[in-house]
Each structure stands twice: as C-alpha cells, then as structure tokens.
Amino acid sequence: MADAVVEFLLDNLKQLLLYNSDLIYGVKGQVESLYKELSLMKAFLKDSKEKRSEYEYVRELVRQIRDVAYEAEDTIDTFVVNAAMQKERSTLSKIVHVFDYPAKLRNVAKDIESIKKKVKEIYDNKMFGIEALYASGASKKFSSSQRRKPVVEEDNVIGFDEEAKEVVSRLTNICESLEVVSVVGMGGLGKTTLAKKVYCNPAIEFYFFVRAWVYVSQEYNRKEVLFAILGSFVQPCDQTFKMTEEMIVEEIYKHLNGRRYLIVLDDVWTPDAWNDLKTAFPNQGCGSRILLTTRNTEVALTANPDTPPHHLRFLNEDQSFELLCTKVFRKGSCPFELVELGKTIAKKCDGLPLAIVVIAGLLLKKDKTRDLWKKVAESVGSYVARDPTQCLDVLALSYRHLPDHLKVCFIYFGAFPEDFPIPVWKLVMLWVAEGFIQQNGQECLEDLAEEYLEDLVERNLILIAKKRANGRIKTCRVHDMLRDLCLREAAEEKFLQVIKRNIQDPTSLISSGSYHYHRRLCVHSHVNNFIHSKPYGPHVRSFLCFPSEETELSREHTSFIHEAFKLVRVLDMRPINISRFPAEITQLVHLRYISIFGNFKFLPPSISKLWSLQSLIVETTSRELDIQVDIWKMSQFRHLHTNGSSRLHGPQAKTRMDNEDPFVQGNIQTISTISPDSCTENILARTPNLKKLGIRGKLAILMEVKKSSSLFDNLAKLDNLEKLKLLNDTFPRPPSEGKLRNLPPLYKFPPHLNKLTLSDTLLDWKHMSTIAMLPNLEVLKLKVYAFKGPQWDPLDGGFRLLKYLQIGKTDLVQWKASGHHFPRLEHLVVEQCGSLMAIPVGLADVSVLQTLEVHHTPFAISSARFIQQQKQMQQQEYVNSSAFKLLIYPPEVVV
C-alpha cells in the first residue's frame, strides 16, 4: 500500500505543479524537491516487495515511507486550501507571509532524509539477503487474520449435486403446511451457492408459483429486508416508499396469501431476525416453503424446531481437486507434472470451497510452473480453512499476490456495507476520483477501471450481482469474509475507517479505531448522530455515507463537512436529504467527486471554483434543475449525472469551435440528463469524447426543424457517443400532446451508437425502420409507450447487431417477425403489453437467443411456451445450441 500512497502523491504533485503552481508560490522549489526524493524511494519500494511479508524490519521502513508521504500530502494540501482562500482576499505575494508552511515542508524533508539513510544502509549492507536480515535482528513475522467469504459461482457447484437433490426433495415434499428448510454451515462453505442452485432448479421453478430471494446479512434492517421481499412482487412507487413496516408486512401477506411460494432468506444471523420476518409469510396449506441459510444452528432450530437443518458438508479431496482444476484450467485438464501439487493445495484447503476458489484465482493469473505451485502448496496450512480466524490467511495469500494497482482497488470494497450491491458506474467514478487508476497511454480511465474490476472478478475476489443488457457488469458485491479481509488490511494501512451501528446497542455507533488518522471515512448507520457529534478528521480525503435508514440534514448542520474535513476529495452524501445546497462545499478546493440529494432548483456558479472536480452527481426532488456551473473552465471534469431535466449553459465567451477553442472539454464522458434546449452546438460540439447522453423534457423541441436544421442535428457530431436516452417529459401536459411525429433520418444519429432508450415518445411503429438501420445498435430499450399502434412489421435487413430488445408498456396487438429480422438477438424482454396476442414464434429460429422474459403480457404466454419447446428440441438436436431460459411473470397458476 505504501507503493500506492507514494504513487498517488507523486501524481497529485505533478498535477499541482502543472496546473496550479500559482497556489504554491513561495514553496514551489520545496515541492519539486519532495517530488524528486519520493520518486527515488519508489525504487526501494519496488525492490522490497517480496520481503515485506517476511521481515518486520523492511515492513517498518515501508510504513515510515507511507507515513511521511501522508504527512507531505497533508502539509501541501492544507497549504493549497489556505492559499486558495487567501487568493480571494488578497494578492498572491502575501501568501508566503501569512502561512508558515515552508517550515513544515522543511520538517517533512528532514524526515525523508532520515528514511533515505536507512534505505541506503540496506542497500550498502546488502540487507536484502536473508542471512543479513537475521544477523541484524530483524524478526521474520507473518501477518495474522480474521474471517469471512465470496461465493463460488453457480457454474462451479462441484460436489453440490447430491446436496441440491436433498434440499429440492425437502422443499417439494407432500406436506401442505408452511415449512422452513435451513442450510447451515460456516462462512465460505457454499451455502449461498447451494441455495442458488436449488432456487434455479427447473423443478423448483415449476413447483412454486411465486419465488423471491433476499439477503438478510449481519447488519440486519427489518424494513429494508421486508421492502426487498415486496419489491419481488410489485413495482415500487412513491406510495410504497411511504409505507410503515407493518404496512409492508400486510402487503407481502396479501400477495402471498393463497399461493404456493418459495422465499429464500440468505445469510440470517440471529433468531430475532427470523422472528421479525416470519409474520409476513401466510400458512394457508398450499405447500409453501422458506429456504433459509445461516451460520448459526440456533437460528435454524428457532425457525423450525421440529426438523433438523441441512448441515452443508465440506468437499472431499477428489471434489476439492476437481473444483481447483475447473477454476484454473477451465475446460482443460491439469498437466501431469502439477497433479500432485494440485492435490496437495486442494487438500490443504480442507474442503472449503471459498479457499479453493480464491487460491484458484491466484493460480489462474500466474505462469503454471512447479515452483509457483510448490510455493503456494507450502503456504496453505492443512488446518487453516476450518478456523474462521485463520481463514483470512488463505484469502490474504491471493491479496498479497495482487499487483499493486489491484490491491488498492480491492481493499476499497471494505468501504461498502455488508451485502451491498455496488453500482459499477459509481465504483468506477470513485476509483478514478480516488486516484487509483493511473493513465496508461491513451486508454480511457473509466475503461481501465472496468478492466481492473473484471480482473478482480476473474480472480474470484469480487462477485457479479447483475449484468447489463450488453453483458457487462452492472452491479457487483464482495463476500463477507473477503470484506473482512479488506477491512483488516485497510485498518493496518490507515486506508479507511467504517462507522456503523453497534449491534448490541442499536442507539450507539462503533468503529475499529479513531477516524482522526484515516484517509477515508465511511458511515453506515445513524448519520445524524455522527454529524451531531461534531466530527473532526484532518486527514480524511473521502467521506462516504451508506445509511440504511432515511435521514434528513437540517439547515444548521450543512456546514459540518467544511468544518470537519477540509482536505476531502470524495464526498458522497447521496443518502442524506439536504434542505438547501451547501454553499460551503465550494470551499473544499480538492474535491473531485460530489454526490448529493435535496430539493435543489439550481447549482450555483461558485462550484466552478472546484478546479479538480471530475464527477458531479445531483439528485433533486425538483423536476427541473438549472446548472449554472461553468464546466467549460473545469479542465478535469468528466461526468454530470442529474435526475431531472437539467438546463446546461455553454461557455459565455464567443470563440470559434476548432482545435484551438479553449472551452473544448475532451475529458467529459457523461451528460445525463439535460433538457432538449441544452443540446446546442455551443455545448455538444465542445464535448467531442462524450460517451453517454441523456435528454429529458419536451423532445419536440429537440426535433423541431428551424432554418433547415434542428437541435438533434448536433448529436450527429458526437462521434464517440455510445449510449443515448431520450425521455419525453411533457409535464404538466399529458404525453399525448407531446407525441413525436417522426424520427430524424438515419444520418443524423450519432454514428457509433450501440444503446438507445426511448420513453413516452408515442412513435408510430413504421418509424422503427430508422432505428433498425443504426449500424452499431446492440441494445434497444423501449420504455412506456415509446411506440404506439396495433401492428409492427419489421423490415428486412435491419437490427444486424441487436443483442438485447426490451418492449415496455404499449398497445401493440400484432408483431409479425421471423428469425432473420433479429439474427443476433440474445435477450428479449416484453413487459405490460396487455394487448399483444403473440410473440413471433419465428424467433425460435434465432440460434443465439438465450432468454425470453414475459411480464404481465397474458395473451403472449402460449407463444412464449411454444418458443421454449422449439429451443429445447434444438438443444437436444444440436450439441452446441445455446441454452435457453423462459421467465413468465406473474407465474401461471396451476389448478
């Protein structure tokens, strides 16, 4: 981690020297000197990497380098804050006389000089040799560990076949009364994996009319879990969010009453959690079941005292080796020369799937040599996997072998609450703002961040929660045990601190140490209590809030961030409802990322002073938002996310728009969502690298032709635009009054568009011919009444690359199509098409079709069943035919 700390500091100093050297007037020479000295220390950090886990002397020296780098960063950042404040009040020439930071920088330089001497001694005395280290008295010491898990993926459920059969049998027995079937086992044994295998079993899908899956977790919140269960049956709306817990219980009970259902409660920690939830589940003699996973046998016996739980067994040696080989060699086999070592590694994992999968992730990324496998085999203790405390050592083995750029990304997952589904778009922006993603040639930082995440997923350290329509990761999660590893490493490195509810005393908060010394502060509960305690974190660079409870910040407390965390770079207060826009934020000159929520009608121009700002995420209860921020002066700006129809202003200065235009912002990638009248040439021509654009408002304004051109014409100049969302919002008038008469011709669409979303546009189906010819379109989402009319006849030659099609609420009656109209279609979703008589059965001929989802479209169910039968016949006839899955909601009631 010291490597990352020094790397980030060097990058920040470089940015400071390049773009804001006026703010370090008087100390620029010292800052340049620090930069050179720290650059030289990178060599030592690189050379010492292999010795840190073994020798305390080296580890201590690395810690000293980290601490002095932190001190240098604090000193310089504080100087910049005060210099920026002074700049508004007086001339720069007075800054040096006001602040005594040159003296502080000299002290930092002295500390660095002292460390350099120690480093020189190591090299001069060749102390990287093992004998010399022992002679110097340096002790060999391995780090200790604690506990927790990630899930073995569903496609690697080796050893669970018999287990799954047994659980399926218990769930589908002839007993008509409501029963609870519990799966019990230690963390990392595969309880969730087994439950998912059972949940997706065709016999279970057929037997239970209604199914729902919810994570309960250790940090249990009753309302949140109840809401998740209800969300499996109904689409949440404003009224749903206002429900009390008992109202939600009644609503769940009503939806389940009289139906045969299966509810999976995953990771239940206490009997109280079960007792809190059980009142929502009716017992009407329909053969309904609750499948519960837990580490605690007491929980299982409380839920069902009459039937013993299913205790999950450890894998035997053969199964362990098979799982290891499957993960490391995929469809290949283990080379003969590695078989014995592989069996040794698998055996020493002692049957724990978690340990096997994580170590397999390590072996997958390395050259498969006997020396490496022997080294790994010697590092895995035969007893370690069954001891929750020492199991982290197994996990830490993979962590220690991560490249530096992935280590810091991995332990950042400790910032998120347990079982929290992490949106990838948000994670990527946070990583970039934190400085974890270093520029590599011309590659986009966000694309590089997604590659890092995919690498962590491949190493079995991070779990995919949901995938996007295009197959990329939408949300991800970290398993409890691996999250504990993140927190342990983060605490040791002063990397982050979590503040959360005390389970024994719910009215109080706990943390694993003083946040005064940590760089990142993450509040998971009782945010108001924390704020009222008047926190002070002089070293904090990131303040992240993830409370499960609703909270509102009163006007008198909105200044707490500026008072408590003057050097903050990342500020995520999205879960807190702020009564007014906190003007004090604009004094936090180091900010790179802001996420806030409140009743905002405008964003003040003073935000433009935040020269380092990259991401601005604003959710407002107002329908419209006036963005007065001059993003054209903010050279680092990358992403604008708003939920309302936001008015964006172009640069005020009149300049020609060419390569010399000072207001062209090549870094901007996201603008979502803005009003149609903001789509001017003055704005869009200055965002040449824009990838994602969302437009909300009266789209007729966007399409209206004036003097032979329209605002939509400006979209054609966005050569890098990949995603476009057009939301027709005619409020307070009904959508019918804003109906679009047509679409612009094909050549006016962005040339490389691969995802298009339309809503409330009420287009005639004949205009689909324009969309069908978009050459790179892979994902098409037609939301509520995007198109209107009784019949759709696709034209030949269109949708050549379309992989995902979603048709939302519409009055469509007849859809006539064959397989050749959608040759690449993999996923089809049809929702609330109450008049649609049938899904074209010719789509069964699309060889790559994998899933068909039919929601609230009753007349089309028989055609969907026919497509399923045809696909099943194809799978039997052709070995390489794609697997197919049909989902119908609500499930058909079998009498």
- Per residue, what are the HEC states of 732-779? CCCHHHHCCCCCCCHHHCCCCCCEEEEECCCEEHHHHHHHHCCCCCCE
DSSP bridge partners of 498: 522
Beta carbons of 462 and 456 less than 8 angstroms apart: yes
Residues 6+ apart with CB under 8 A from 130: none
C-alpha closest to that of 425 among 138, 617, 592:
617
Cis peptide leading into 353, omega within 30 of 0? Answer: no
Residue 609 one-letter amino acid: K
Count CB neighbours of 132 within 10 A: 13
Beta carbons of 465 and 688 less than 8 angstroms apart: no
pLDDT reported for residue 590:
92
Token digits for 351?
Answer: 């049957």
Q: What is the separation of C-alpha 383 from the centre of its chain, rounded to a whole number of angstroms?
A: 34
pLDDT reported for residue 148:
33
Q: Taking the model in full, what pTM does it have? A: 0.82
pLDDT reported for residue 812:
97
pLDDT reported for residue 89:
64
Beta carbons of 633 and 612 less than 8 angstroms apart: no
CA distance 100 to 407: 37
Residue stretches of the chain with pLDDT short of 70: 1-2, 16-20, 23-26, 43, 49-55, 88-112, 114-157, 238, 381-391, 394, 501-516, 550, 653-660, 878-882, 892-895
DSSP bridge partners of 473: 467
Angle between helices 404-411 and 2-19 (to 10 degrees): 100
